[in-house]
Structures are given as C-alpha cells and as structure tokens.
A and B are shown apart, each in its own frame.
Chain A
C-alpha cells in the first residue's frame, strides 16, 4: 500500500461574513498558504486574506503595446514596401488611415492578454485538483463557503490547524489528500 500525501485541511463556513472573518483570523495567526472558496467574489476578501493585488494589468499593457506595434509595422511595411499602390492620390504612408487597424489590433492583443494572462496567473486549465475528490466541496460553486489550509504552510499541524479552523467558526473540518 502506498502512502497518500496530504494536501491540507478543508473547512466549511456558514456565509460570506463568516468566511471573511475566518480569513482575517488565519491571516492574523500567520498562515500564508490558505485559500477561501466562494460561489461569487466576496468584496474585501483580498485584504482579509492579505494577498497582493493582481498583476494582470501589466500583462495586458504589454500585450496591447505589442498589438499596436505590430499593426504599425504591418501596415507600414505592406503599404510602403511590399505592395506599393497609390489610391486616390494618398501618400503611401498615410498614418491617419492606419489608425482604425492600429486600434483594433491593440484591443485584440490586449484582450488575448487579459484572458490568457488570467488563465496563466490562475494556473488554469487544470482539470484535476485534490479538492475535486471531496464530495462536500461540490457546493463551493453553488452555495458553499470553504477554507483550505495547505500542508505546505509552515504553521500547519494536522491537529492544531484543525482545532483552529473549528474555533474560528468552521462547521466541519476534513482532511484532503493529494
């Protein structure tokens, strides 16, 4: 028989308010590798958990700039060098006419950056996760509010953390295996 690795502890909480209080207490107790789960984003949870702001905006800026630069490069190269056709006496390099495509490609690249950047930051797609084995956790996308504390946390101890989760309002505390 192989020994199963421990992922952490899972605790359910009553409502958004109980969840946010639990997160604050875990943060104050010095836990780092814990996570809260809710069917919808809860406002104030980021500061309650003490996590840093999303860096997604910078990814989007970089992608948008790439889109803009490629639109300028593409249109200039095509019009001035690759396929020189004078239409209605306009200059080969008529930057005014290039504005719409510059804008569209900037938005397109930035949009890809926003969606795929969000996937990358969240580590998605991830079709398997230890939590998916837990039956109770299935309500997390409907009406359940959960906390997990991962065993990788330096303050983690099976009994101590379980007791702590219960003290701060946990309705049920379960072990999640890897």
Chain B
C-alpha cells in the first residue's frame, strides 16, 4: 500500500505522513531505539571527528585570546572578514528550524511534525556556533559583558541607538526562546523514554528532565496553549532576528550595504540556507537510523520545493540590487555592484550566483526533487553558496570603501580558516550528542497526526 501512496499526486487525497502501517507502540519503539541501543560504530567515528574539530576551535580561540585579533587577516578597511561571515552563516542556518517549528505550525502544516525536532536542534547548535563568533570577534573577550546593560564601576552603558546592540538583544532572545521551545517540545518525549527505561541512570536523568510529565489532559491543554503561544512569538522573532542582523550592515553607509532590500533579502536567504542544511543532515540521519517511515520522500520533496522558492527569491534580490544601483543614478553604488561582479572578488560573486541561483532551479524537475543523491549535492551547493553570499556582502563592500587610498585586499589567515572548520566541530559535536541521547523525532506529535489518533473515526455517530 505504501508504495502506491508514495507517488500519489491526487490533490484530493493527502499523502500520509507516516508510512509502514505503524501503531502507537511501534512509533515509540522505533524513535526511542537510538537512545536505548548502544551507539553504532559510525556514530563513534563521527563523534571522534567532531570532537577533534571542537578541539581545533578551542585551540584557535585560545590563540586569538592569547595573541590578539591580529592573528586574523583583517586590515583597514576590511575590518570584518570571516568572523562576521561565519556569524551570519550560522545564525542564518538556524532560521530554518524556527520556520519549521513555528511558522509551519501556525499554518497547520502537519508534515512538519516529523522534522521539527531535528530542525530545532540544528537551530540551537547553529546559534551556539554563531554566538562563539559574536563573542570572540570583539577582540578583548574578557570585556564582552559590555555588550549587555550590566551596571559596572565605570558607569558605561551600551548605546541603544546602535544596530550592534540591537543584534545582541535579538540573538540572545532568539537563542533563549529557541531553547525553551525545543525543551517544551521534548518534555512528553523525555517522559516516554523515562517510562520505557530499563537502566537506573536513564530513569533518573530522563526523569529529571521530563519534570514529572504524565500526559494528563489538563496538562496537555496548558501545554498545547504554551506551544501555540511560543509559535506565535517565534514567528515575528525569527523574522526580526535576521532583519536586525541585516541592520548591522544596512544602517551603515558603506556602498553595497546601505540598502532597504536587506531585511527581507536576508530573511529569505536565511531560510534558504537553513533548509539546505536540514536536507543535508536529514538525508544522512534517515538513512543511518532507518527512519524512512517518518522522514518520508514526501517530506524531503516538500523541503526541496521551499529551497526552490526561497532560492528564487534570493536570485531576485541579487538582480534587484543591481537594478537599484543603476536606477538610483548613484555612481558610488553602481561602482560597488560592478566591482562585486567583475572586481578582485569576482570569483566569490560567481560562486555565489552559480550555487544559489542556478543550482536550486534544478528542483523544478520532479525527478531531481525526489532523488536522494541529487538533493544532497544541491543542498551542499546551497550551503557553500550561502557562505559565499555573506563573504561577498561583507568583504567586497568593505575592500572598496570611501577613500581610494585605503582600498585593500583581504585574505584570511590559517587561524580564521581553522576556526571556521572548528565551528563545524562544535555544531556536529552537539548534533551527534542530540542524535544519540534525545528522540530525534517528536514522538507525541507524530502520533497526533496518525489516523488512529483521531477519536472521531468514520462510522462513529459523533
């Protein structure tokens, strides 16, 4: 039956979200299995690699703190390089998680249930990687607390008219709310693991973190309300975060940054890159954990459609930037954009265009949308392209700033490169721990979208 349904194009029938004829018990069994079984060998190897990356990050950050920010290749005028590129790259990836967990929830997109946990975890770990960049790029990291309005003996307070301060509030609020949202979603599933636990350690730890959840209907009522409210709060929040990140650039007067298109363009790009990262990770995880009945081809195809839509928006924004530069009649603005495409950093610009604009267009073909190797390759291309987008925006705008006498070329040092590799180590270390110790699919939500969960089944007089 499932084979018939997979290719179902009849719009009057919904594609089933759970395949393989599962009942409630087998859903719990399959999703809890990675938590209850011994870690597989591939996990141990991957974890070893990820922790080495994390150690690399710690080494690079230690070098940075020890020697000062001169270990990076920054110069005047390029005072922001891989640090800001890395920050925007990671914070952008996080946005897909919130989009899936909050916006798709409000739109009653039930297919999100089997991927939201996964995507939210990705959000949290990506924002952690972004946070490392933000904290350490200030140079003197021991005074990073100046970013927050903390009373201090010098009587210094932040300047609330600066977008950089808005950014501190936006990113820290975003991280806190994402973490709470994720934790609230986890509570019933942690209780499931607690009640199935066969070892004492598992019983104690999952018992503590499931805060005594017992599935009472009065609890579910408040719980569902809290979930709905968090979704309603996160939806404008996620739009605001990347808008504010774009204000870091747009509120300044550097040609190439000072444009009103930045907030929507950044948000579309963030969702684009985040969905690509979800596809990359999900293609691997559904294979390795054998969860194809829950993370179905239908899910992957739907995500590829969103990648296509947001990729097209990003392409439109690239075109519109050029149009506005020409239409404004401002020669400095025009120079900034021509220089972007044909100046010293032309290679970065064309890498960005081919990865972000051209490669997702292949998803117009259904065959490619439903091909695992193709979607994996395209999602990697999009990840690369979105990194280059941030590089193009940050570096090409700065390296030709106001005074030609100060124009300069920027290349990263090995410390910056290794720090970026290390930031993947941080991300993957936490992500692998998540894959092993937490249910990677929202068990209670998946059960809720199964036909058997509906108390008003056909044939009942209700």
Interface residues of chain A, those whose CB is within 8 Å of chain B, are: 15-17, 19-20, 23, 35-46, 49, 51, 53-54, 56-57, 60, 74-75, 78-79, 82-83, 85, 87-88, 90, 94, 97-98, 100-101, 103-105, 107-108, 110-112, 114-115, 117-119, 121-122, 124-129, 131-132, 137-143
> Which residues on A sit within 8 Å (CB–CB) of B191?
141
| B440–chain A nearest beta-carbon distance, Å | 17
Say whether B169 contacts A104, CB under 8 Å: yes
Q: Contacts A38-B217, A107-B233, A110-B233: A54 and B222 contacting too (C-beta < 8 A)?
A: yes
Q: Which of A45, A117, A126 contacts B212 (CB 8 A)?
A: A126
Say whether A78 contacts B455, CB under 8 Å: no
**Whose C-beta in chain A lies nearest to the C-beta of B447?**
A40
Interface residues of chain B, those whose CB is within 8 Å of chain A, are: 23-25, 28, 149, 155-163, 165-166, 169-170, 173, 176-177, 180-181, 183-184, 188, 191-192, 194-196, 207-208, 211-226, 229-230, 233, 236-237, 240, 244, 247, 443-445, 447-448, 452-457, 460
Known: A60-B229, A127-B211, A131-B214. 18 other contacts (CB 8 A): A16-B452, A16-B453, A35-B216, A39-B215, A42-B220, A49-B217, A57-B225, A78-B160, A104-B169, A104-B237, A108-B177, A111-B181, A114-B233, A115-B230, A117-B226, A119-B211, A124-B213, A141-B215
Say whether A104 contacts B455, CB under 8 Å: no
Say whether B158 contacts A78, CB under 8 Å: yes
Instruction: Count chain A CB atoms within 10 A of each CB in B162, B213, B236, B452 and give the residue with the most.
Output: B213
Q: Which of A38, A100, A122, A124 contacts B170 (CB 8 A)?
A: A100
| B7–chain A nearest beta-carbon distance, Å | 29
Instruction: Count chain A CB atoms within 10 A of each CB in B211, B215, B218, B240 and give the residue with the most.
Output: B215
**Whose C-beta in chain A lies nearest to the C-beta of B247?**
A100
> Which residues on A sit within 8 Å (CB–CB) of B247?
100
| A110–chain B nearest beta-carbon distance, Å | 6
Instruction: Count chain B CB atoms within 10 A of each CB in A20, A44, A83, A98 and give the residue with the most.
Output: A83
Say whether B455 contacts A43, CB under 8 Å: yes
Say whether B453 contacts A141, CB under 8 Å: no
Say whether A101 contacts B225, CB under 8 Å: no
> Which residues on A sit within 8 Å (CB–CB) of B162?
87
Q: Contacts A110-B233, A126-B212, A143-B23: A41 and B223 contacting too (C-beta < 8 A)?
A: yes
Say whether B180 contacts A115, CB under 8 Å: yes
> Which residues on B sit within 8 Å (CB–CB) of A37?
214-217
> Which residues on B sit within 8 Å (CB–CB) of A57?
225, 229
CA distance A110 to B181 in the complex (A): 12
CA distance A124 to B217 in the complex (A): 14
CA distance A119 to B223 in the complex (A): 9
Instruction: Count chain B CB atoms within 10 A of each CB in A38, A104, A137 and give the residue with the most.
Output: A104
> Which residues on B sit within 8 Å (CB–CB) of A114?
180, 226, 229-230, 233
> Which residues on B sit within 8 Å (CB–CB) of A23?
217
Say whether B444 contacts A17, CB under 8 Å: no
Interface pairs A-B: 9 shortest CB-CB: A125-B211, A143-B24, A118-B226, A126-B212, A83-B157, A100-B166, A41-B220, A138-B195, A97-B161
Q: Which of A97, A108, A142 contacts B195 (CB 8 A)?
A: A142
Say whether A138 contacts B24, CB under 8 Å: no
CA distance A106 to B233 in the complex (A): 9
> Which residues on A sit within 8 Å (CB–CB) of B149?
74, 78
Q: Contacts A100-B244, A127-B208: A107 and B236 contacting too (C-beta < 8 A)?
A: yes
Say whether A35 contacts B160, CB under 8 Å: no
CA distance A127 to B212 in the complex (A): 5
Q: Which of A82, A87, A100, A122 contacts B219 (CB 8 A)?
A: A122
Q: Which of A36, A101, A108, A138 contacts B216 (CB 8 A)?
A: A36
Say whether A38 contacts B215, CB under 8 Å: yes
| A43–chain B nearest beta-carbon distance, Å | 7
CA distance A108 to B208 in the complex (A): 25
> Which residues on B sit within 8 Å (CB–CB) of A17?
455-457, 460
Q: Contacts A17-B456, A20-B455: A41 and B240 contacting too (C-beta < 8 A)?
A: no
> Which residues on A sit within 8 Å (CB–CB) of B215?
37-39, 140-141
Say whether B161 contacts A87, CB under 8 Å: yes
CA distance A90 to B163 in the complex (A): 14
CA distance A101 to B313 in the complex (A): 28
Q: Contacts A36-B217, A54-B225, A140-B195: A129 and B157 contacting too (C-beta < 8 A)?
A: no
CA distance A59 to B153 in the complex (A): 36
CA distance A15 to B455 in the complex (A): 8
Instruction: Count chain A CB atoms within 10 A of each CB in B23, B24, B244 and give the residue with the most.
Output: B24
